[in-house]
């Protein structure tokens, strides 16, 4: 068979170095080995019952057709109300767009904003998809480093130093994946001031906003509403990763452009999932009860895993948000890919090497898993360290 040539865009996509670890974990599982998964970025909780019931109702009522490209009006109104209630952001429903997951919202926004060679400043360690998405639409990612020793705090002076005449966007993710860092108001204010001074767009991914422990979540859009696109979604907060509901809100012309992109690609997010998300956002008490229960569980797990890893000699800062920790695995091996491989093969715990996050010497562990499994994982990693 002749080889079919692929586009230069696709050929430029960086294959994920985590694939090797993930495929090895699957292989081990298939062979009957009980691998503890601490690599996935999703809540271990089931979607709350009231949300599932709303989806079942939507199905039985035949709400199964195309929806408007930007989402059903009821949901956009509920999202605008959520932004007002929880974030102090004011949007008309037309300034909101519903997407197939937060990922699509970020992609559409970058597609709408970037021309070839435009630069996007991204604090590192970052979520793996950001630089790839930026490159995919012709832009150029520019990393601004943060350090584990400082709890991955963002230094606005480092952001300022990274600005060039080609900078177009500053991409913020607080609480952050993989670091769990939550940016304080004064840092966000300084970054917003920079954006204003240099006429830049702020793209803020707030997917983990409800998972904040001892810090305050501040939406940077409150500090520079005229230039901020705020991304959020149902995946992490309401344990709805598989439903694929994300959303964005911001200046009307950008949202209109994002709608135009969506109209020629995916058309609309799943109708049934939109009705489910509407329930999540409007049955405020039931949803808040779920979120606060999940948050309490995550906090206990975070404390357990941070103290456990540090006690084993793997330096791990205490994150303020999200459900990930970054552990220094250099005592296992200087190369985080090799460390992750040993943790998988010898301790039977699946973790993600920091390679793709721009976090050398570290691995990411997700604590969206039960306390007994966290304890067992710590025991196994302890065994690996002792056996070295
Ligand atoms: C920082 C961040 N943004 C966006 C997403 C994507 O969310 P969704 O599943 O809604 O596309 C993720 C998922 O892992 C994430 O970690």
In the reported structure, the alpha carbon of residue 102 is separated from the centroid of ligand 1 by a whole-number distance in angstroms of 6
Q: Is 127 in the pocket of ligand 1 (CB under 6 A)?
A: yes
Q: DSSP string of 128-145?
A: THHHHHHHHTT-EEEEEE
Q: Is 39 in the pocket of ligand 1 (CB under 6 A)?
A: no
Nearest ligand 1 atom to alpha carbon 205: 3
**C-beta neighbour count of 14 within 10 angstroms:** 10
In the reported structure, the alpha carbon of residue 387 is separated from the centroid of ligand 1 by a whole-number distance in angstroms of 37
What span, in angstroms and rounded, lies between the C-alpha atoms of 358 and 246? Answer: 25
What are the beta bridge partners of residue 247? 98, 232
Q: DSSP string of 336-374?
A: HHHHHHHHHHHH-EE-EEGGGGT-TTEEEEE--S-HHHH
Q: Is 247 in the pocket of ligand 1 (CB under 6 A)?
A: no
Q: Is 108 in the pocket of ligand 1 (CB under 6 A)?
A: no
Determine which residue's CA is closest to atom 7 belonging to ligand 1: 102
Nearest ligand 1 atom to alpha carbon 173: 1
pLDDT value, residue 41: 86
b/e string for 244-272 if b means 16 or more Cβ within 10 A? bbbbbbbbeebbebbbebbeeeeebbbbb
pLDDT, mean of each 10-residue run, the chain (388 residues): 85 74 85 92 95 98 98 98 98 98 97 98 96 96 96 97 98 97 98 98 98 96 98 97 97 97 98 98 98 97 98 97 97 96 95 93 96 98 92
Structure tokens at 101: 């997951």
What span, in angstroms and rounded, lies between the C-alpha atoms of 175 and 161? Answer: 23
Beta carbons of 378 and 347 less than 8 angstroms apart = no
pLDDT value, residue 17: 63
In the reported structure, the alpha carbon of residue 310 is separated from the centroid of ligand 1 by a whole-number distance in angstroms of 28
Q: Is 246 in the pocket of ligand 1 (CB under 6 A)?
A: yes
What are the beta bridge partners of residue 141? 120
Beta carbons of 107 and 80 less than 8 angstroms apart = no
Beta carbons of 360 and 147 less than 8 angstroms apart = no
What letter does residue 201 receive in the DSSP assignment? E
For residue 23, CA distances in Å to 11, 26, 39, 318, 363 come to 21, 5, 12, 29, 17
Beta carbons of 274 and 51 less than 8 angstroms apart = no
Beta carbons of 102 and 127 less than 8 angstroms apart = no
Structure tokens at 219: 């939406």
Q: Is 205 in the pocket of ligand 1 (CB under 6 A)?
A: yes
> Domains, the chain, ranges and CATH?
8-46+287-386 (3.90.1150.10), 64-283 (3.40.640.10)
């Amino acid at each position: 068979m002749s080889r079919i040539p692929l586009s230069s865009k696709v050929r430029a996509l960086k294959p994920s170095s985590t694939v090797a670890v993930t495929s090895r974990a699957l292989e081990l599982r298939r062979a009957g080995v009980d691998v503890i998964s601490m690599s996935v970025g999703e809540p271990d909780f089931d979607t709350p019952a009231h949300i599932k019931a709303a989806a079942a109702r939507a199905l039985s009522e035949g709400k199964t057709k195309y929806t408007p490209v930007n989402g059903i009006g009821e949901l956009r109104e509920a999202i605008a109300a959520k932004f007002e209630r929880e974030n102090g952001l004011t949007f008309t429903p037309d300034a909101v767009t519903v997407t197939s997951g937060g990922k699509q919202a970020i992609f559409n926004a970058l597609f709408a904003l970037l021309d070839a060679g435009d630069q996007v400043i991204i604090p590192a360690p970052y979520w793996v998809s950001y630089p790839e998405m930026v490159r995919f639409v012709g832009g150029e990612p520019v990393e601004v480093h943060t350090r584990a020793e400082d709890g991955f705090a963002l230094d606005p002076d480092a952001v300022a130093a990274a600005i060039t005449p080609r900078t177009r966007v500053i991409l913020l993710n607080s609480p952050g994946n993989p670091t769990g860092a939550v940016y304080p108001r004064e840092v966000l204010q300084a970054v917003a001031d920079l954006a204003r001074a240099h006429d830049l767009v702020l793209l803020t991914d707030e997917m983990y906003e409800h998972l904040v422990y001892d810090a305050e979540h501040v939406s940077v859009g409150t500090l520079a509403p005229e230039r901020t696109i705020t991304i959020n979604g149902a995946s992490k907060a309401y344990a709805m990763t598989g439903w694929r509901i994300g959303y964005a809100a911001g200046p009307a012309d950008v949202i209109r452009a994002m709608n135009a992109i969506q109209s020629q690609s995916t058309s609309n997010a799943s109708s049934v999932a939109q009705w489910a998300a509407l329930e999540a956002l409007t049955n405020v008490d039931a949803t808040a009860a779920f979120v606060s229960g999940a948050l309490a569980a995550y906090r206990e797990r975070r404390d357990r895993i941070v103290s456990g890893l540090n006690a084993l000699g793997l330096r791990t800062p205490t994150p303020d948000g999200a459900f990930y920790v970054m552990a220094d695995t250099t005592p296992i091996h200087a190369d985080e890919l090799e460390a992750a491989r040993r943790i998988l093969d010898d301790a039977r715990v699946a973790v993600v090497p920091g390679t793709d996050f721009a976090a050398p010497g570290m691995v990411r562990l997700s604590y969206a898993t039960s306390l007994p499994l966290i304890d067992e994982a710590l025991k196994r990693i302890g065994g690996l360290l002792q056996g070295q």
